A and B are shown apart, each in its own frame.
Chain A
Amino acid sequence: MTIIEARGVMKSFGQTPALRGANVSAAQGEILAIMGPSGSGKSTLLHCLAGILAPDEGSVWFDGQEIDKMSENGRSALRRDRFGFVFQFGQLVPELTAEENVALPLLLGGMKRHAALAEARQWFPRIGLDGLEGRRSGELSGGQGQRVALARGLVARPEVLFADEPTGSLDSVSGEHVMDLLTTAAREQSTTVILVTHEARIAAYADREVIVRDGRVSTLTGAAT
C-alpha cells in the first residue's frame, strides 16, 4: 500500500528549476533509495515529500492526505508526530546530552521528561553506545553522533523516516554500521524510509531505487524496454 507519493512535482529556486515533474511513491515499510548526481534535485524531492518545501506545481500525498494543502501548523505536526529525519551531519543540539537529543521528538510530542529519557536510553545498547548517554555531541565521534541522530530519527516510531545522505560524512565502515542499524530498526517497526544517497553501496541497503536526473525521476528496471 502506497503511503507517500509525489505527483508531477515541480519546484524552482528563482529561475533555476530543481524538479520538473517528479513522480515517485513508496509503500508502507519500504526502503526506497533516491539516487542521482549532485544538483539533480534528489534532496529537493526529499524536502518536498517531507513537507519542508512546498511544490510550485503538482502534489504530495501522505496516507491519503495532500500535505501541501495542509496548514503550516498541520505540516509541522505531521513532521513532528509521523515523520523522522536524519541528515548528513547529525545536527545534534550541542547543549543537550546524547540521551536528551534522542528524547527530543518524544518531548516535543508531549511525553513527560522522565518517560522520554527512559525510552531514549533503551536505544543506546542497540546503537552500540551503551554508557555514552550523558555525552554531548562535541564528545562523540562522527559515527557515534550519527548513530545518536539515527536513534533520534526513529525513537518516536515514525511512519516515514527521511534520511538525506545519512552516511555522507562517515568513513565506509562507520557508514555501513549506520545503514545496518537504520535498515534493521526501520524493518522492525515497519517504518518507510526515503533514503537520499549518491553512493551505490548505501543504496544497496534499500528495497528499490529510483534515480533523479535533471529534476525527473527514472525508475530503473532490469530490461532496456
Chain B
Amino acid sequence: MSVPLTLLGLLEREPSHGYDLKRDYDTFFGRGKPLPYGQVYATLSRLARDGLAVAGPAEHGEGPERKRYAITELGVAEVETWLSEPAAPEPHLQTVLFTKVVLSLMLDRPADRYLDAQRAAHLQRMRELTDLKQKGNLMDVLLADHGLYHLEADLRWIDHTVARLDILGHTVRRNGKDGTDNGKHSREIGT
C-alpha cells in the first residue's frame, strides 16, 4: 500500500496537521500498526518538495511548532490517477483495494467505478490464465489455477464491497466526522 498517496488522499478532505493525518491513517488503514510520526513528517516534506502539497506557516502555541499542510491541484490529480487506475491484478491485493475504497468514499469519489475497473482488470487476467490452462501442460494448469483461485477470492470481495458501498460510505464519513476510533474493529480482524 502507498502511504504517501494515502496521506495525500486524506489531505484532499481538508488541510491537516501531521498529527491529524496520523490519527486518521491509524484509524482507517493502520491495521494495528500505527504510522510512526517520523514517517508522517518525512512523507509530508517529500509531498511538499514534489509540489503535491504545500505547508502553511508555522503555528505557535502550547507544545511544539506545527504546520498545516494542504493539497495542491497537482496533488489532487495524483490522487485521482492513483484511485482510478486499477492495480496490477495479483493475488493478495486486498490491502490496497481496501485503502482505495475507503479513501474514495471519504472523498465522495466514485468508488463503484474504481471497483468496476479493478474487476475488469482482474477478469482480463483470469482470461489470460484460463487461456494458458487450455493451451498448457499440467504444470501450467496447476500454476494458473493457483492464480485463478486467488483472483477469484479478490473478485468476491469486490462484489461484496460493491453491494455494501452505501452503508460503508455512511460509516466511513460518520467516523471521519466525529473522529472516534471505530477502526479498532478492522484492527481486530486484521484488514
Contacts and interface: CB of A to CB of B under 8 A. Distances in A.
B126 A201 contact: yes
B181 interface: no
A199 B130 CA distance: 13
A221 B120 contact: yes
A180 B135 CA distance: 11
B85 A180 contact: no
A209 B126 CA distance: 12
A222 B124 contact: yes
Contacts, number: 60
Q: Is the interface of A mostly helix, strand, loop or mixed?
A: loop
Contacts of B123: 200, 203-204, 209, 220
Interface residues of A, number: 19
Contacts of B85: 223-224
A95 B121 CA distance: 46
A183 B131 CA distance: 11
B117 A221 contact: yes
B134 interface: yes
A200 B155 contact: yes
B148 interface: yes
B110 interface: yes
Nearest to B158: A200
Interface of A: 37, 180, 183, 199-201, 203-206, 209, 211, 218, 220-225
20 contacts: A199-B152, A200-B123, A200-B155, A201-B149, A204-B127, A205-B127, A205-B130, A209-B123, A211-B119, A218-B116, A220-B116, A220-B117, A220-B119, A223-B84, A223-B86, A224-B84, A224-B85, A224-B114, A224-B117, A225-B84
